[in-house]
Structure 1
Amino acid sequence: MPEFAPPVDHLDAVLAWLAAEPADDPVVDLTELRKHLDLPASQDIVGTQRLQALDLLRVRALDICSRFRPRLLTAALPLGRSLHLAAADLVEALLVLSEHYRVLLGELQRRWLWSRQQEMAVLSAQGLQMVGEAAMLSAMAGASAPFGLWQKAHALWRASGQMRDGGGVEATPVCLHYLRLLAIAVSQPESLTARELQWLFDFLESIALDGELSTSPIQPEAASYWIDLAQDSPPIAIARKAPGQGSDILFFGPLALNRQVSARVAWLEEKILEAEVVGLDTDGELLDPESSGLPEGLAPLEALALLRRLRDRWATPALRSQPRRRHQYRVQVGAGIKAVWDLLRGTAGEPSEWMVYNESPGGYAILSVGGVDCSLSAGMVLALRREPTQGWTVCVVRWIRSDNPDQVELGLQVISQGCAAVSVGFRGADSQSMSPALMLPPLPAVRPHFAIVAHAGTYASRRFILIHEDKHLYVAQCRVLGLDMQTASIELFQYEVDPYPI
């Protein structure tokens, strides 16, 4: 736990630092901020001075976040040690500030100053803003939510007094911050990339208030969650665990958000189709915020893929359909389509070594052994095998957790037992060169045809050329039958050999 400097004796000196221009490096500013985090709790300042100091520290913390976040957008997981420590320090600083708001609200409540209810709502919103930033930065860094984060969030929400009798919320900043935090938590943030998380955070600013929050169960229960305000825990799907009893229980329904998401999906599909028909670049100005109502940060096809995944997740919470079994054995791992492609062709070095610590018929959870020598991201392809004589099992990375820079945990979904290295080239693609890909065999009851998994953006039209170099050279013109999976990193589609090649 980092040590904070003792309270500053002279408020004017701290106010002078806050009024000065921020340092060019946000980490330098963070170091200074952490020296002054105890100021709002100091006995040397009272009343309006405390509120002023806390508000100025909050504004400076938000400024640091806005300048630090781009470093996480461009960094690969696991983060380097210095970046990981800076992110952890910033998250802790934000939670310290949120705790100051919680304490201040507690004092107002103890004095029965209910006449200051509007002020309490403003203070709650500012405290929840700090918690929301901390949650986002933790997720973008690949870390779990810090201990106490949800307890602080629930306490600040309760202190705001914004819950109507019988359920429902007002369109106020405090409701926006709390509902956005809940919506991110049920979006499986550990399965999203830093770019997707940032885009989602910005997108929810415009739609989060459509989410439902109630003191009574929300229908349909299969798509709803419950929250225990007395516990340090995120929303829990009713389909996974029955809700508790008592006045501390709230219910959250993200399904209402899908009305907005479906409208954006339909708009994007129409615009992308129009752009393709007239030959325009689909990475152009389709996502201009003024015309689309969507934030910047993702290409149109990336935003469309993310919105479709969010729509599914908000409609159907993830359930564990197969039992997990604890294991502890080592496996060889290739991470990324190109790395697996090279391993299959015998042109790569030695695969890295990981440890399986639990598995189910549908996937694995693995832990790094001896460090990580490659870049990782949610949604990428990874292949593993237990022995060099065995075939490769092809998986998609469903979630990443990296609470310290020397250790990474991955959740994997199996998509194929076995694969072959092929090259594909699509008609109408921007690049005329062939792209590395993996050919997957049919999977009974799941995938009746052969499939291709390739880098995101490879699938450009229905027809493509497939080349498989083995003992014999195989070349065929093929036709895409349907897109089965699309993430920020890969596309998986079934195909057949084109009966009418052109």
Structure 2
Amino acid sequence: MSVGALSHSEVTAPIIDWLISPASGDLHAEAVALAGHLDALHAPRGISHAQFHRCIELFYSRALQLSGEFRRSLRSMELPLAADWLASASLMTASLLRIAQGFERVLSNASSGAIRTQRRLNETASARALRLLCEQFVIVCQSGREPETSLWQTANRLYYLSRAEAGAAQAAGSPAETALFTYKRLLGIAALDPRTMSPGELDWAAEYVSRICGQLHVQEDRPPSLEGAWYWIDPADTAEPQACNRQMPPERQKSKLIFFATTALARRAAELLARHEGGRGGPDLEPSELFPGVVPTALLGRMRSRWHAPPKREHPRRRQQYSVEACVGLTSIWRMLRGDKSAAAELISEWDVVNESPGGYAIIQVKGAGSGLGAGMAVALRREPKEAWSVCVVRWLRSGDAGQLEMGLQIVSKGAVPVQVGFRLSNDRSVSMVDALVLPVLPALRQHQAVLAPSGTYTSRRFSLVSDIDRLYVAQGRLLSLDMQTANVELFQFEIDPYPL
């Protein structure tokens, strides 16, 4: 029997056998198998519309399970991903998008009468497809890549398909709102700018958003005022949602825009933080081994701030093309500033600046150390050996197909002094000293000196400070404000306490 004459069951039998078989513990092999069986499903061999629908439903369950395993594995990884993980993550995300688009094909078949319409098919198929797009978006960002251009157009089409069946009068919270709930989840994650998070932070944030995303407000009418935490998205475009305070929506548009506000998400996050500070927060904000390197209270505080007031672009970017030296990581910067010449070659790498503004840079790796990077890390930068080092914090990361990295940097200081600081450990009188940097006053940013230290250093208002660069100097500092907390560092302003305890 020729391939073209194979019956429907003979074509789909190997696919279904794999879909209902137990999953392999090898995620790389699973990603390859998933992509291969999807190729077989889409091969032009006469699979009936009904069988395609059945297979897509089975692919949904298998892919959802596999995407959860991928997200958990990526939590503890640093960028750029190893070649095998980058290849597998790329296969996985391409398959998730393909299955979501398979649900669109099912809906098209139902609309044309090719398959028998099921009750609420628009709703259930759209909801499942949108769920996969959420998973795809998270894994793409965890792996440091840019989402596919078709993601947002696909998501917007699915949103409209589900709403066409639900109707405007459908009560909120009904089963017909499932697709809307999942669409809100995708919008809520996108509003956080996932590129600014480590893989572990992003997965924690995605889990949290899935619990509260029903609070996000979506509407298709232009709000009377676009001040505050309003975003807009053009369903006909491939662009991600835009914050109105960064780019205003066009006044006249052929397609109707979608607007959403994240104020309610910010309010819920603030309530949880307040309960935690009052000792009534429960385990939700406790650090967990399941999310290595994640400080939930600091992360949720950043999420609340972004949902409450999306950051504005204060300075225009100017395209540039010049080389710089970079020292990556707080420990490496500390060693380098102390004059560890023997380790200078391994501590300093070469990068190219591609654009800059008064507040930061975007740089691309040229050669040298380019592993172990993550959003929120400290990076020191200088153009000439005679210049002072600019201390920056990584705002976002992008990873190219060849392992090349691009980083967005926020300047936090011009120059720094390596010191050691120590906070008293709870009721214990002992002090654990850690390597840190003292940053000078910057009138545009802060009115006092600051300390850049590893995340988790700050535990009380007073701390000890030791410097031995020119001479031994010991003082007690008093913390004034905690200005930044990431998964890697924290920055706080301080003053020298004239009346040490």
TM-score by length of 1: 0.89
In 2, Cα distance between the equivalents of 1:219 and 1:307? 30
Q: Find the counterpart in structure 1 of residue 331 from structure 2.
A: 338
Conserved? CA contact 2:287–2:294, under 8 Å: no
**1:266 aligned partner:** 274
Give the match's secondary structure for 1:288.
helix
Where does residue 3 of structure 2 map in the other structure?
none
**Could you give the per-residue CA deviations for residues 304-349 of structure 1, whole angstroms, max 9, x where no partner exists?**
1112111111122222111211111111101111010011011232
Q: Distance in 1 between matches of 2:127 and 2:410?
A: 38
Equivalent residue, structure 2, for 1:205: 210
Q: Which residue of 2 aligns with 1:349?
A: 344
1:157 maps to amino acid: Y
What is the aligned partner in structure 2 of residue 315 from structure 1? 308
Partners of 1:182 and 1:234 within 8 A in 2: no
SS in 1 for 2:386: coil
CA displacement, residues 396-434 of structure 1 (integer Å, 9 cap, x when unaligned): 111111132421111111111110100111112688441
CA contact (8 A) 1:379 1:489 kept: yes
Match of 1:60 in 2: 62
What does the per-residue CA deviation read over 1:9-62, in whole Å, with 9 as the maximum and x for residues that have no partner?
532222222222111212112211111104544553324422221111111111
Partner of residue 3, structure 1: none
1:33 is matched with 34
Segment drifting more, 403-412 vs 205-214: 403-412
2:283 to 281, 288, 292: 288
Answer yes or no: is 1:257 the counterpart of 2:258: no
Counterpart AA for 2:274? A
Residue of structure 1 equivalent to 2:22: 21
Distance 1:314 1:220, change over 3 A: farther
Shift of 1:124: 0.6
Q: Is the 8 A contact 1:384 1:392 kept in 2?
A: yes
The Cα shift of 1:166 comes to: 9.2
- 1:216 corresponds, among 217, 221, 233, to 221
Question: Letter of the aligned partner of 2:193 in structure 1?
Answer: Q
Amino acid at match of 2:471: H
1:425 maps to which of 417, 422, 426 = 422
Uncovered stretches (5+) of structure 1, i.e. residues with no partner: 1-5, 275-285
Alignment map for 1:412-451 (pairs within 5 Å): 412-428=409-425, 432-451=431-450
Q: What amino acid does structure 2 have at the position aligned with 1:392?
A: W
Contact 2:12–2:41 under 8 Å retained in 1: no
SS of structure 1 residue aligned to 2:268: helix
- d(CA) in 2 for partners of 1:175, 1:38: 30
SS at match of 2:247: coil
Name 1:403's counterpart in structure 2: 400
Alpha-carbon deviation of 1:242? 2.8
After TM superposition, list the pairs within 5 Å mapping 1:96-495 onto structure 2: 96-111=98-113, 116=118, 118-161=120-163, 165=168, 170=173, 172-218=177-223, 220-222=225-227, 223-244=229-250, 245-271=253-279, 287-288=282-283, 297=290, 302-347=295-340, 348-350=343-345, 351-370=348-367, 372-428=369-425, 432-495=431-494
Is the 1:168–1:214 contact (alpha carbons within 8 Å) kept by the matching residues of 2?
A: no
Contact persistence 2:145–2:398 (CA under 8 A):
yes
| 1:75-90 alignment, distance < 5 Å | 75-90=77-92
Counterpart amino acid of 1:343?
M
CA distance in 2: counterparts of 1:19 and 1:115, whole angstroms: 25
**1:13, 1:412 → 2: CA distance?**
49
- Structure 1 CA distance, aligned partners of 2:292 and 2:222? 38
How many Å apart are 1:116 and its aligned residue?
4.5
Range 160-169 or range 32-41, more displaced: 160-169
2:386 & 2:278 partners in 1: Cα distance?
A: 49
CA distance in 1 between counterparts of 2:24 and 2:448 reads 57
The secondary structure found in structure 1 opposite 2:278 is helix
- SS of 2:75's equivalent in the other structure is helix
Contact 2:425 2:432 in 1 (8 A): no
Q: 470-479 or 210-219: which moved more?
A: 210-219
- Name the CA distance, whole Å, in 1 between partners of 2:216 and 2:111: 28
Alignment deviations for residues 97-151 of structure 1 (CA, whole Å, 9 cap, x no partner): 1111112212323449997561111001111111111101001001111121111
> Helix, strand or coil for the counterpart of 1:404?
coil
Aligned-pair RMSD on alpha carbons? 2.7
Distance 1:167 1:394 in 2: 53
Match of 1:11 in 2: 12
Separation in 2, partners of 1:433, 1:366: 35
User: Does the Cα contact within 8 Å between 1:218 and 1:252 map onto a contact in 2?
Assistant: no
Q: Which whole-Å CA distance do the structure 1 matches of 2:382 and 2:162 have between them?
A: 53
Identity of aligned residues (%): 37
Moved more, 38-47 or 22-31: 38-47
- What is the aligned length? 482
How far off is 1:451 after superposition?
0.8
Q: Do the aligned residues in 2 keep the contact of 1:199 with 1:295 (CA within 8 Å)?
A: no
Find the residue that maps to 2:298 and give its secondary structure: helix
Describe the superposition over 1:365-410 as per-residue Cα deviations: whole angstroms up to 9, x where unpaired.
1110026444111111111001111110011111111132421111
- Post-superposition Cα deviations, 1:257-308, rounded to whole Å, max 9, x if no partner, equal 122111111111112xx8xxxxxxxxxxx7535xx79999559982111121
Judged with a 3 Å threshold, the aligned counterparts in structure 2 of structure 1 residues 87 and 371 are, in CA distance, closer, same or farther, namely: farther
Distance between the aligned counterparts of 2:182 and 2:14, measured in 1? 32
Q: Which moved more, 1:339-348 or 1:441-450?
A: 441-450
Greater alpha carbon shift after TM alignment, 224-233 vs 153-162? 153-162
TM-score, normalised to structure 2, is 0.90
Give the AA of the match of 2:211.
S
Within 1, Cα distance between the matches of 2:286 and 2:234? 34
SS in 1 for 2:79: coil
Distance in 2 between the 1:115 and 1:24 partners?
37
SS of the aligned residue for 1:217 comes to coil
Where 1:364 maps in the other structure, the secondary structure is strand
Partners of 2:467 and 2:379 lie apart in 1 by 20
Q: Give, in whole Å, the separation in 2 of the partners of 1:359 and 1:307.
A: 29
- Report if aligned partners of 1:335, 1:374 keep a CA contact under 8 Å in 2: no
Q: Distance in 2 between matches of 1:120 and 1:40?
A: 22
In structure 1, what is the Cα distance between the partners aligned to 2:312 and 2:69? 37
Determine helix, strand or coil for the equivalent of 1:387. Answer: coil
Change beyond 3 A, Cα 1:299–1:265:
farther
